[in-house]
Structure 1
Amino acid sequence: QDVVSKCLKKDRNQRYSTINDLEKDLVHARQEISNPTAWPLLDKTVRRPSARSHRPKLRRRWLVSAAIFVAVAGIVATAGHFLVSHRVASSSQPQINSLAVLPLKPFDARDNSLGLGIADALIRKISQTGRVVVRPTSSVRRYLNDDTDALAAGRQLNADAVLEGSVQRDSDQLRIVVNLMRTVDGFSLWSQQFDMHQADVFTIQDTMAQQIASRLRLQLDNAQQSRLTKDYTSNTRAYDFYSKAIYNLEQRGFGISTKPQMDETIDLFRKAIAEDPNYALAHAELAYAYAWTALFIEPQDSVWGEQAQAEINRAQEIDPQLAETHIARYLMLWSGYGGWQVEAAIRELQVAQQLNPNVGHTELGSLYQHVGLEDFAAREFKRGLEIDPTSDLLKDTIVMMHNIVRDYDNELSDNQKYFPSRGPSVWYLLSKGRLNDVQELIDKSGSKIDWLPQAKGLLFALKKDFVSAEREIPGILSQFPTRDPEYHHATYDVACIYALEGNSKEAVKWLTETAASGFSCYPLFGRDPYLNRIRSASEFVQFMTRMKEQNDKYRRVAEGQK
């Protein structure tokens, strides 16, 4: 009202003197409108469910609030149109190449999963078009309980545009308010309020996705348009359980201590499927949860792998066009459960990226690095950082991938770039021959060193104390079951201990086991100085010949050849 009143002042000196002044007040008005605490959107009076007499009053309040909102929003939109026309006349609109969809802020913290679920749905819909880079759910989740301003969040995420919003639930009614802004100047590209029955949330998500695509000027073909409006369930209870499960899955961890949290996640996915047995996306994400448990939480229990495979098959049967199904299948194929099928795992991730170009880059980069396709790995990691430049998980993976191929100089460099507080790793010190520093580190904080038996075994071998080095081997191998994703790194360290000793027969035996369990990194085997003493041995020469043939085959698969 203040903005309108000032625009209509009879005295021109009391009106806005510049477009910029008008814009500042309009932006402020927009922020007040989109702030769920600034409007009496839904009646918050505590009442007994049987108090039906209050419903007409609630409806009147809601209608009055809605009328006020529409009136003000119309004025803001009209003035906004004038501003857009004015700006277009003077300069072209900046190109939008990346988007951050923030979790919708709930009026009630118990609806956190709903706000994140709607954001997750929009992220999936828009990213599947392949026309704009969309920051993944994992990168925006932290803003759900954070008071960071939307524009500041968009800039932190290095996104050209940001979608903010709020969601309010009252019984089976929802109110959603959204605003799409350019991060460079805070200009609102689109804002809208939706009042709906909860069952209409899927239709509203489609509308929102279409509006975002339109305002970002995405040129979509028929297939991309279809993906934009694709819904995975019409059951609101199933969707509610699924949203809560996704919220939990985003907080998954490693090791048996994280199992209670994963058990809760799995239970929520199961409840979603109980409500809608044909909810393919819930089946696919449940498969991923089972696979994660099988590989990273409880690898000694084979039941998780069996359940993961059953859910993968069910999801694929219902909907063969889900990228999430292929990512879950990749996890199982490139593991002890799937027999370390490298070629099939690569193809699954390639299909996932065809269905959704924004997914699978960390996974594919890690796989390529393990099988010696380091140039392909670098490309995937680069693309992953373009999609999510804030991902500590991806940055940590990049550092780790340098480590596993003994590229310790780049490991140190990227550690200092991404994680300045970290010092040189024990593996870096070993590679530089700083054996006294390693011994001091082990003596001072040995129990805190990851893979301590490996560090001690290699230290003894480099000191030429081979008896003590071999004593560490049982401890190295006992850390990981054969199905554990870390098993092949343990076997490689055992091979290196034997190679430093000059025992080519045992070294090649464990190199062969390493390659057979998913770590067939031909370039590493060719350059690792720990293997130098056995390079002329006939068994090592034959082993390297086999590895070269296998590496060439993997390269053809990565290049898309049959």
Structure 2
Amino acid sequence: VREIGQKLNVDAVLEGSVRSAGSQLRVSAQLVSTANGYHLWSRTYQREMRDVFAIQEEIARAIVNTIRGRLAHEQSAPLVQSHTNDLEAYQLYLRGRFFWNQRDNSQRREETLRSAISYFQAALQRDPNYALAYSGLADAYASVPPGISRDVAYARAKTAALRALELDETLAEAHTALARILVVQEWDWQRAGREYQRAIELNPGYATAHQWYGMYLISLGRLDEALMELNTAQQLDPLSLAVNNDLGRALYYARRYDEAIEQYRKIIQLYPSSADAHLNLALTYAEKSVLESAIRELRTWANLSGDEPQALLGYTYAVAGRRDEALRILGELEERAKTARVSPVGMAVIHARLGNHDRAFALLEQAVQQRSPFVLFLKVHPRLDPLRSDPRFTQLLRQVGLE
């Protein structure tokens, strides 16, 4: 317990077990001090399955009373909101969130997101007015499951988020989901900011709101504020792969490369199969011109994700000054682009590093027209540093609404 406390930076942990037999539910819970292993509080509940929401409320209130001695003026307000009276709908929603929380596992991304969508939809079949399930559905579609176009996924996500808000305007998850769509699809920065702030006002303990608001602030170039939000998200959900990856990205965008490397190493220690962590570590090594480590991580990423590493290898060679290898890969990419879809971003950043600015801007213009997620970070991305002094770069920022 002491080791867990150190890793999570917490003073106490809640542990327990849940057993069900027919309609009977047995819940055992203990609040344990990480300093000495002492049980601060423990209790066992034997109830009917239909009482699961009441048990959650009792446990939450008992823990708050134990930690704070007594509740403040909000003591009479419920600490746990069920959002539905249908137990099966609630269980289906929890399963959907379980799969959605695994979305950063590249090897199973399609499976996990499709499972999440299926469970959220099943929850809504049970309770068509279940706002929380609509917000979950919005999050799952906003993650763009493989096999669904971005436009279709984002449209479905927005529809679900708006329906959730129609049912419950006080739902932080729904405001967060809507804000995400306003950023990635509509580039409506002002409205998105208001939605994120409203979400955090409604539920300051919702880690995803702080996480995505942090990424929003990165896009605006407000890196110090972004790091504060992402650190808050990590404190709220210390083991979240998505939150920890985004915290590493924030350090990378802030050019705090050594700290980013340390962050990604920690992630890989916990989640060795996280393709995104290996990719982000590779990109960070590339900016530091640590060529062998960058290439090793890129190959690990490619093996885990099944994606093609050529464009990123070309960029890595260009940063390291190995011009001939970079040009060879660039030629291969441009030849392939004649007959197949190749991301213009991958080629643009190689051209930028090699000094071919006209071609780099032409390709970045394509990325803007395609509404590539990469352009959300034009203002801060290290791979674009060679282009920033060119007036055409300011024009790109204006097109995305970032200037």
Query: What residue is the counterpart of 1:507 in the other structure?
Result: 360
TM-score, scaled relative to structure 1: 0.57
Deviations along 1:343-402, one digit per CA (max 9) or x if unpaired, are 333332222221221222332223322332211222123223333444454333333344
Is 1:266 matched up with 2:117? yes
Rounded Cα–Cα distance in structure 2 between residues aligned with 1:321 and 1:441: 47
Q: Tell me which of 284, 287, 300 is aligned to 2:135.
A: 284
Is 1:234 matched up with 2:91? no
Is 1:531 matched up with 2:387? yes
Q: Tell me which of 46, 53, 61 is aligned to 1:202.
A: 53
Query: What residue is the counterpart of 2:198 in the other structure?
Result: 351
Deviations along 1:179-235, one digit per CA (max 9) or x if unpaired, are 33333234444333333222222222222222222222264444x853514331112
Offset of residue 414 of structure 1: 4.0
- Secondary structure of 1:298's counterpart equals coil
1:155-554 aligned within 5 A = 156-217=7-68, 219-222=71-74, 225-253=76-104, 257-292=108-143, 294=144, 296-300=145-149, 302-335=151-184, 338-358=185-205, 359=207, 360-403=209-252, 408-415=257-264, 419=268, 427=283, 430-431=286-287, 448=303, 451-456=309-314, 459=317, 462-465=321-324, 468=328, 470-474=330-334, 491=345, 493-511=346-364, 517=372, 518-522=375-379, 524=381, 530-531=386-387, 535=389, 539-540=392-393, 543=395, 550=402
Offset of residue 316 of structure 1: 0.9
Rounded Cα–Cα distance in structure 1 between residues aligned with 2:298 and 2:53: 59
Q: Aligned in 2, Cα 1:187/1:443: closer, same or farther, shift over 3 Å?
A: closer
Q: Which segment drifts farther, 406-415 or 208-217?
A: 406-415
1:32-181 aligned within 5 A = 153-154=4-5, 156-181=7-32
Does the CA contact (< 8 Å) of 1:167 and 1:176 recur in 2?
yes
Rounded Cα–Cα distance in structure 2 between residues aligned with 1:229 and 1:383: 21
Deviations along 1:233-287, one digit per CA (max 9) or x if unpaired, are 1122222322333333333345585323433332222222222222211221122
The one-letter amino acid of 1:519's match is: L
Does the CA contact (< 8 Å) of 1:457 and 1:473 recur in 2?
no
Offset of residue 442 of structure 1: 11
Does the CA contact (< 8 Å) of 2:294 and 2:316 recur in 1?
no
Rounded Cα–Cα distance in structure 1 between residues aligned with 2:149 and 2:33: 49
Offset of residue 405 of structure 1: 6.3
Does the CA contact (< 8 Å) of 2:298 and 2:313 recur in 1?
no
TM-score, scaled relative to structure 2: 0.75
Deviations along 1:160-193, one digit per CA (max 9) or x if unpaired, are 2233333332321223233333332344443333
Gaps of 5+ in 2: 273-277
The one-letter amino acid of 1:344's match is: R
Deviations along 1:44-96, one digit per CA (max 9) or x if unpaired, are xxxxxxxxxxxxxxxxxxxxxxxxxxxxxxxxxxxxxxxxxxxxxxxxxxxxx
Rounded Cα–Cα distance in structure 2 between residues aligned with 1:270 and 1:334: 25
Does the CA contact (< 8 Å) of 1:177 and 1:192 recur in 2?
yes
Alignment root-mean-square deviation, CA: 4.3
Q: Aligned in 2, Cα 1:327/1:185: closer, same or farther, shift over 3 Å?
A: same
Does the CA contact (< 8 Å) of 2:295 and 2:313 recur in 1?
no
User: Which of these two proteins has the greater Rg computed from alpha carbons?
Assistant: 1
Q: How many residues align?
A: 384
The one-letter amino acid of 2:57's match is: D
Q: Which segment drifts farther, 160-169 or 445-454?
A: 445-454
Q: Which segment drifts farther, 500-509 or 192-201?
A: 500-509
Rounded Cα–Cα distance in structure 1 between residues aligned with 2:171 and 2:350: 44
